[in-house]
Amino acid sequence: MKLKELIFGKSHTDETGLSATYDGSVQQWLPIHAIVNGVIITKDKRFIKVMEVLPINFYLKPESERQNIIANYAAFLKIAPHTLQAQVITQKADMTDYIQRMRDYAQHEEVPECQSMIEDNLLEIGELGQSEAITHRFFLVFQHEMQMKPRKPTVNAICQRMNEEADTLRRYLDFCGLEVLEPRYADNAVLELLYERICKQTSHRVKLPEGVFDMATTVHGLYGE
Q: What is the pLDDT of residues 42-73, one digit of tens each?
A: 888 899 999 999 988 888 889 999 999 999 99
Please give the distance of CA 38 from its chain centroid, rounded to a whole number. Answer: 9
Tens digit of each residue's pLDDT (9 = 90 or more) over 104-123: 888 888 888 888 888 888 88
Within-domain flag for 6: no
The residue range of the domain holding 120 is 94-132
Q: What is the pLDDT of residue 225?
A: 40
Q: Are residues 84 and 102 in the same domain?
A: no
Determine the Cα–Cα distance for residues 127 and 215; give it in Å rounded to an integer. 39
Q: What is the pLDDT of residue 98?
A: 75
Within-domain flag for 5: no
Q: Are residues 120 and 154 in the same domain?
A: no
Predicted TM-score of the model (pTM): 0.68
Residue that terminates a domain, selected from 80, 113, 132: 132
Tens digit of each residue's pLDDT (9 = 90 or more) over 151-190: 998 999 999 999 999 999 999 999 999 999 988 888 888 8
Within-domain flag for 3: no
Q: Are residues 113 and 195 in the same domain?
A: no
Strand ranges for 85-164 from DSSP E = 85-92, 134-143
State whether residue 223 is helix, strand or coil.
coil
Q: Are residues 57 and 127 in the same domain?
A: no
Within-domain flag for 2: no
Residue 26 pLDDT > 70:
no
Average pLDDT estimate for 85-93:
83
Number of domains in the chain: 2
Q: Are residues 147 and 103 in the same domain?
A: no
Pairing of strands 47-54, 85-92: unpaired
Which position has the higher pLDDT, 19 or 138? 138
Q: What is the pLDDT of residue 125?
A: 74
CB under 8 A, 24+ apart: contacts of 68-76: 69/176, 69/177, 72/172, 72/175, 72/176, 73/176, 75/172, 75/175, 76/169, 76/172, 76/173, 76/175, 76/176
Q: Are residues 196 and 157 in the same domain?
A: yes
Q: Are residues 127 and 146 in the same domain?
A: no
Tens digit of each residue's pLDDT (9 = 90 or more) over 182-218: 888 888 888 888 888 888 777 777 777 766 666 655 5
Q: Are residues 181 and 81 in the same domain?
A: yes
Q: Are residues 172 and 128 in the same domain?
A: no
Residue that terminates a domain, selected from 103, 132, 161: 132
